[in-house]
Amino acid sequence: MAVDPASLYGREVNTDDEGMNFALDLAALAAEQGEVPVGAVIVSDGRIIGVGSNSPITALDPTAHAEVNAIRDAAMRIGNYRLSGATLYVTVEPCSMCSGAIIHSRIGRVVYGTTEPKAGVVESAERFFDKPFLNWQVEVVGGVQAEQCATTMTEFFAMRRAGKKKLKKASPAPD
């Protein structure tokens, strides 16, 4: 069984690897729930203040990405929608929606694991945080535990494809 998200609040994070380990724990939780395995934690003053895992399917909410869930959680916990100076650790390169939320919440630093070639806008499909029209600057560190983060995604989708193949084999052939 994956980690209980509530057990992470207040946990100390001293390195990017430690932050990513917690995010990977939350990605495993998302996978257990049938969600794409992306996890995120927000750290301020060396302690976890917000957690999130992907939940658009279970929450019936297309905006319920791990990053957005962690931002919402942290903002509620500290009583402020501004998370200035906080660091967001996320297992997969953020998409455009999440990057916009990062800017609006004033997160100071984003640390991500693996790239997302199709939808990632930090370095893959776009370089969103470099846009001159943005009124907030975000420091970005990519590739932290990239191999483990990529493996988590690859294994999830392989399992999903195998499950679909098994269902297809088990269903009766049409007449």
Active site residues: 67
**Dist. CA 78–CA 134, nearest whole Å:** 25
Detail the DSSP E strand segments found in 31-116.
39-44, 47-53, 87-92, 109-114
With vertex at residue 86, the alpha carbon angle to CA 83 and CA 88, rounded to the nearest 5 degrees, is 105
In a 13 Å sphere around the CA of 101, the CA atoms on its Cβ side amount to 19
CA-CA distances (angstroms) from residue 74 to 42, 63, 67, 148, 159? 7, 16, 11, 25, 32
Least Cα distance to 67 among 46, 86, 83, 91 occurs for: 91
